[in-house]
Amino acid sequence: MSYHWRAPSTGSTNRAEEHLNTACTSIYLISSMKKELKIVPIKNGTVIDHIAAGQALNVLKILGIHATTDAALSVVMNVRSKQMGRKDIVKVEDRELKPEEVDKIALIAPRATINIIRDSEVVAKHQVFLPTIIEGIIRCANPNCISNAEREPVISRFSTAGENPLRFRCYYCERMIEDISGYL
Ligand SMILES: [Zn+2]
């Protein structure tokens, strides 16, 4: 009895690999040899790295991604980071962030890095920037603040009062906000 094995044509191999890559994009592969968490790279989209641990879900909220989303995304929380101790990572496929989304992410994760991926290559890497004055992004927690008055054409204005923990002070009523995720 003879057995003939024929190598698949190059075309079908590529298709098979492509299919595999697509299937793997949202899966974390755990390398048991190195005991570290590896994330399979995405083809097109955005990787938001160095998010302060615990803030990944707030990043999703800023991006308008809810539980019922059909966006292909990966969320990694509380992984070890040399720089930060612990960090979160969010990957969103087929999406590049708008400047206003980046500005909001800076306010909850001031050390975040934003990597734009096109055709599996990192084409841009941005470090977010925590401004000292923030206008028109944070809603004041004080319902009586002039910036919350419907008839007043006053744009909210906050100053960064501290980074660890993150704190912001309203310019108008001096109300301090520590957890701003509910006020973006
Ligand atoms: Zn205020």
- Cα of 10 vs centre of ligand 1, distance in Å, is 64
For residue 104, which amino acid is it? K
Rg (the chain; Cα; Å): 22
Q: Which domains, from first to last, does the chain contain? A: 2-38 (no CATH), 45-127 (3.30.70.140), 133-183 (2.30.30.20)
**Distance from first CA to last CA of the chain, Å, rounded?**
72
Residue 36 has what pLDDT?
46
SS3 content of the chain, % helix, strand, coil (to 5): 20, 35, 45
- Cα of 71 vs centre of ligand 1, distance in Å, is 35
Average pLDDT over residues 95-107: 94
> Could you tell me the pTM of the whole model?
0.75
Residue 137 has what pLDDT?
93
Contact 53, 87 (CB under 8 A): yes
Question: How many CA atoms lie within 13 Å of 113's alpha carbon, on the beta-carbon side?
Answer: 10
- Cα of 138 vs centre of ligand 1, distance in Å, is 10
Burial of 108: CB neighbours in 10 Å, binned 0-12, 13-18, 19+: buried
- Cα of 162 vs centre of ligand 1, distance in Å, is 17
pLDDT band at residue 169 under the 50/70/90 scheme = very high
Tokens coding 144? 């009586």
Average pLDDT over residues 102-117: 95
- Cα of 172 vs centre of ligand 1, distance in Å, is 5
Residue 68 has what pLDDT?
86
